[in-house]
Structure 1
Amino acid sequence: MSFPLPLTSHLRDAGPLVYGCMALGGDWGDGPVTEADVAHAHEAVEAALAIGIKLFDHADIYRRGKAETVFGELLKRDAGLRAKVRLQSKCGIRFADDTAPGRYDLSADYIEASVDGILKRLAVEHIDILLLHRPDPLMQPAEIAHAFGRLKAAGKVGHLGVSNMHAGQMRWLQSALREPLVANQLEISLAKLDAIDAGTTFNDPQATTRPGGIAWAGTLEYAQQHGVQLQAWGSLAQGRFNDPSASAAAKAVHEIAEAHRTTVNAVLLAWLLRHPAGIQPVIGSGNAERIRACGDATRIQLSREEWYRLYVATRGQALP
């Protein structure tokens, strides 16, 4: 028997998949958005809409702002598009400049200025969700809470979430907030198992000494307990499993895809969707064909045995 895995209440209408817009907007230079960039973005967004995606994920740094700019151009050209999508963006990463190195900044002034820039580039007055992109070691939860309160009161932001934060950081930030954090976006995929290993192999010396492993202990459990929607960036594993001869894990992915008469991409996403946290995979490809190939992910259900076969094969060693 299988049980449905509902999304958290704040994101229930967003659907099980997210489209990550980092590939849109051309190169990472300072030049303007071109018509070719707009055409590419239109093709990718239409492919995402075609497989039922509603939530579109941005960040103010993607293509140095051009990902948001090109999406804003699509919204200007199609009056009905805004009603079809939910918009999420992130802030808090600053590139190196003349005064300082690359750094994280979750000060109130920077958050509020960043949101104004996001709204301008997207050509909207409101975004549904703001994520804090990286944990700033100098962050002060009360300061962030005041900034979010002002943004919320001004109608600029609907909900607040985080990205790349572990359970302790979420708990610390939530202590100052009146409203619940609604999402946490982490790198999780069949090729990036740290967050899952942290709850599975915590008593394995090899796992606990691996960089990034034990740091995520309790993060998935905290999210499930407190209704924080987990989103998985890097969910397609950068093409690591495309070649079935590359590894035993890749072979297993292909064999399971064949058994379900689906694509490798769909299996990778279905593996995440099978987790009881109801993880939303973020599809970051700019290739319309590859985006459409992800559509089967919500229509297949991996068995426990298939899920564990992929997990153990990718780990490359038996569970402790």
Structure 2
Amino acid sequence: MRTIRLGNSTLEVPVVAVGCMRISALEKSEVERFIKTALEEGANFFDHADIYGGGACEEIFADAINMNDDIREKMILQSKCGIRKGMFDFSKEYILESVDGILKRLQTDYLDTLLLHRPDALVEPEEVAEAFDILEESGKVRHFGVSNQNPMQIQLLKKYVKQPIVANQLQFSITNATMVSSGINVNMENESAINRDGSILDFCRLNDITVQPWSPFQYGFFEGTFLGNEKFPELNQQINQLAEKYNVSNTTIAIAWILRHPAKMQPVVGTTNLDRLKDCIQASEVQLTREEWYSIYRAAGNILP
């Protein structure tokens, strides 16, 4: 699979990340087959979070493949922390405790990447910096990033944190494209011109932070997928036409649309269906034209001024 550099690090990663949020619903043999299929297809970047399945997803992942040093070196593991029941917590104590739990469940000595999951309103960036220093010096975490953060939140962290912020996970799909639409409709008197994120996409590009889109097939906030959905007839017609042209699935085209953006994003796909996973991975081989990208963008109801 095609690779990109993760942020300004030296870490080369596949352009499609494998999300592990749903693997707790699978049998152990199914999880083993899922992971091996991903590795065979060149998708060796696995995204976790300590809250997925209440931690069960990380345990199941490691158990299914009988985690050992040999197989560990074949994969890139990322996890997230900071979400607690009824609150968010970026305190030094909680970050360190969370990482120890993650490493224990994944049966590994280190994470390639740790992300802070959702912004903590009570964040004390000095504490985050201390936690990151301890984790880096101990070898428990090699790279650091954030999730769902805007430019000023990242800048505040960067004032104290010496490690580069290499990634930012953000909601983005064909139907959830406000990161793009607000930049197209600058200063216009329409809904699409509303800048809801402080120009986070441009900020990440300027600062060499890899955007990792989550829920690349969802519309709204987990309201469902747009593929094959009667609510999006024009969009599905356009996607299906391109799928036929390129002799791929509609799933492949939806991911190819994200990969066509020059920001060099790394979508996180959460499917546990092996065929659909392969379709997502195949998107790295499809290069949509500028005209095709915009035709999908407009078909989703996004306007051009």
TM-score (norm 1): 0.87
- Equivalent of residue 223 in structure 1, options 204, 211, 225: 204
- 1:279 corresponds to 2:265: yes
Partner of 1:46: 36
Task: Output aligned runs, 1:1-320, within 5 Å.
Answer: 8-10=7-9, 12-26=11-25, 37-76=27-66, 80-95=70-85, 102-207=86-191, 213-237=194-218, 238-243=224-229, 246-314=232-300, 316=301, 318-320=303-305
- Checking the alignment, whether the CA contact within 8 Å between 2:8 and 2:164 is kept in structure 1 is no
- Checking the alignment, whether the CA contact within 8 Å between 2:15 and 2:266 is kept in structure 1 is yes
- Checking the alignment, whether the CA contact within 8 Å between 1:198 and 1:216 is kept in structure 2 is no
- How far 1:152 moved relative to its partner? 1.0
Q: Hey, what's the Cα distance between the residues in 2 that align with 1:134 and 1:288?
A: 29
- How far 1:5 moved relative to its partner? 7.2
How many correspondences in the alignment?
298
Q: Hey, what's the Cα distance between the residues in 1 that align with 2:8 and 2:152?
A: 22
- How far 1:121 moved relative to its partner? 0.5
Relative to structure 1, is the Cα distance of residues 124 and 255 closer, same or farther in structure 2, using a 3 angstrom cutoff? same
Relative to structure 1, is the Cα distance of residues 228 and 77 closer, same or farther in structure 2, using a 3 angstrom cutoff? closer
Give the residue type in structure 1 aligned to 2:21: M
Note the alpha carbon deviations across 1:231-269, whole angstroms, 9 max, x for none: 011113353122588410111111111111111111111
Give the residue type in structure 1 aligned to 2:208: G
- How far 1:15 moved relative to its partner? 1.3
- Greater shift, 11-20 or 179-188, is seen at 11-20
SS of 1:318's equivalent? coil
- Greater shift, 77-86 or 49-58, is seen at 77-86
- Checking the alignment, whether the CA contact within 8 Å between 1:130 and 1:157 is kept in structure 2 is yes
- Checking the alignment, whether the CA contact within 8 Å between 1:184 and 1:229 is kept in structure 2 is yes
- How far 1:308 moved relative to its partner? 0.5
SS of 1:185's equivalent? strand
Give the residue type in structure 2 aligned to 1:223: C
User: Structure 1: 5+ residue runs without aligned partners?
Assistant: 27-35, 96-101
- Checking the alignment, whether the CA contact within 8 Å between 1:7 and 1:16 is kept in structure 2 is no
- How far 1:144 moved relative to its partner? 0.4
- Checking the alignment, whether the CA contact within 8 Å between 1:272 and 1:281 is kept in structure 2 is yes
Q: Hey, what's the Cα distance between the residues in 2 that align with 1:37 and 1:74?
A: 9
Q: Hey, what's the Cα distance between the residues in 1 that align with 2:129 and 2:238?
A: 46
- How far 1:295 moved relative to its partner? 2.5
Give the residue type in structure 1 aligned to 2:295: R
Q: Hey, what's the Cα distance between the residues in 1 that align with 2:10 and 2:243?
A: 29
Q: Hey, what's the Cα distance between the residues in 1 that align with 2:67 and 2:164?
A: 35
- How far 1:70 moved relative to its partner? 0.6
User: Structure 1: which 4+ aligned runs deviate by more than 6 Å?
Assistant: none
User: Structure 2: 5+ residue runs without aligned partners?
Assistant: 219-223
